[in-house]
Amino acid sequence: MLSQNETPLTAATSDLSTGAAWMSGKLMPVSEAALPVTDWGLIHSDITYDVVPVLDGAFFRLPLYLARFRRSMAELRLDPGLSDQDIEAVLHELVAATGLKKAYVAMVTSRGVNTVPGSRDPRDCRNHFFAWCVPYIHVIRPEIAEKGAHLHVANTVCRIPPESVNPKVKNYHWGDFTKGLFEAKDVGAESVILLDASGNVTEGPGFNVFAVKDNTLVTADAGVLEGISRQTVLDIAREMGLAVEIRPLPFSEFLESDEVFITTSGGGVAPVSRVDDRIFSNDAPGPVTTALHKAYFDWAAQPENRTEIRYPDQSL
């Protein structure tokens, strides 16, 4: 149940179709949501989050996203005092209030403000949960993905090592990604891929990376978030009879791939036609990538993968 100091979620009078947030039991336009300047989530990036897509009026594989969010909170010793059922109820009310049938929905738990003046002890902070929802975001814009994205492999920064920041905990430690993005944008690429200190492919900002070679999918086993879209593609690939290898992917091997694609909750499966000067699948989406892209959205339409949202305009 919601904690006693929180008020029930109520309908807002303003138009929320461009985005809404839920904070401390209140629904508001996303532009009005804010954190205190002393919140440790802001000043220390002591915070975790997850993002679940809404496709055609339903959450896609919501239980998997909630389970990963719960694991992230446990790893960081964050407890906002809400059950999974409470969180799911907030997400339903939030999306329903916006009326959005295709949306990007974030659930967040922050360490919060330290309740003891001068304390540096994280145990003295009051953890809190909030959520927000905006129209669906594509990590790779559809018009770019249609032809295949151009990505850059960063050479001035490598991925933060798992020994420092656990990438399996979804986090806002984007210093390495942001530096890589500047590097990618400076050379005209759409986004960036980071290598680890040993020269293996890891991931990019908001996506996992896959290589295809002889109908075998290869994706990194370390230094990456275990994405739900990544897992969906692994599930689909096995159903399609494709071989799957989850292991270190040296950059030199990566460049010999037949196809490259990324997976993300913001777009599903997106083809990559170029990585720096290397061209894949004749500078167009390859056949395996194209089949997986279609299958991803076919899976999104299957009842067992959907958690339907009841909107106010729907009959009881």
Q: At what angle do helices 62-76 and 84-98 cross, to 10 degrees?
A: 130
Strands 103-110 and 47-55: antiparallel
With cut-offs at 50, 70 and 90, classify the pLDDT of residue 314: low
Please give the residue range of the domain that contains residue 229.
142-300
Domain shared by 89 and 230, yes or no: no
CB 264 within 8 A of CB 224: no
Q: Is the pLDDT of residue 181 over 50?
A: yes
- Residue ending a domain, choose from 106, 135, 164: 135
Q: Write out the two tokens for 32.
A: 């009005």
With cut-offs at 50, 70 and 90, classify the pLDDT of residue 313: confident
Domain shared by 103 and 212, yes or no: no
Q: Which amino acid is at 116?
A: V
- Residue ending a domain, choose from 135, 164, 184: 135
What is the CATH number for 222?
3.20.10.10
In tens, the pLDDT along 60-100 reads: 999 999 999 999 999 999 999 999 999 999 999 999 999 99
Domain shared by 146 and 289, yes or no: yes
Domain shared by 46 and 121, yes or no: yes
Give this prediction's pTM.
0.93
In tens, the pLDDT along 250-282 reads: 999 999 999 999 999 999 999 999 999 999 999
